Amino acid sequence: MLGACGFSPLYEAHDQLTDPVLASVAVDQVNDHLGVVLTNHLRDGFNPGGEAAAAYQLHVDLSEDSIGLAYRNDGTIAQTQVNLTGAWTLRRLSDRKIVGKGSSLGTTFYDDMPDAYANTTAKESGEMRAVEQLADDIHARIALLLKDAPPAS
C-alpha cells in the first residue's frame, strides 16, 4: 500500500554494510577529544568494512555548548544540557563541487553531582551520548542526500 504513494525507506535498496556510495564518503579528522570520537563514529557509520575509494569528502566543524538547567537551593547547578553542533559540508571529489551542507545537533542532559569524580563521569557520558546522536543525524542526512547517487567509477 505504501509503495503506491512513492514512499520508499531510506535504506530500502542499500545495505549499510555494503552500500558503495556511502562507503565512498571520506571523513576529515575533527580536532579535540570529542572530534576524534565523532570522526570515528562517522567513519564507522559510512564504511564499517574499512577503506574504500573516496568519491566524497565530508568536513565537520564541531562546537559544544553547555547550559545549566536546574539549580539546587544553594545555587549550584543540578542539571546541565550539552549541545553539540556539527556544521557539515559534503564535497564531490571529482569536481570539488559542494553537493550538500547542513547543521546537525546532538543534545543530552546529565545531573551535576557534588562528587568531582561522579560529576566528571556524568559529563563525559553525556558528551558521548550527544556525539553518537550527532553522528547518527549527520549520517542519516547524508544517506538521504546520496540515496539516488550512482556509485563512483
Query: Domain boundaries in the chain?
Result: 16-145
Give the Å distances, CA to CA, from 86 to 35, 66, 131. Answer: 10, 15, 10
Whether the pTM exceeds 0.75: the reply is yes
Task: From 96, 93, 29, select the one nearest 61 (Cα to Cα).
Answer: 29
Among the CATH numbers 3.90.550.10, 3.40.50.2300, 3.30.479.30, 3.30.160.150, which is that of 16-145? 3.30.160.150
What is the rounded CA–CA span in Å between residue 128 and residue 8?
32
What is the per-residue pLDDT across 63-107, written as a single tens digit (0 to 9) for each?
Answer: 999 999 999 999 889 999 999 999 999 999 999 999 999 999 999
What is the rounded CA–CA span in Å between residue 50 and residue 57?
16
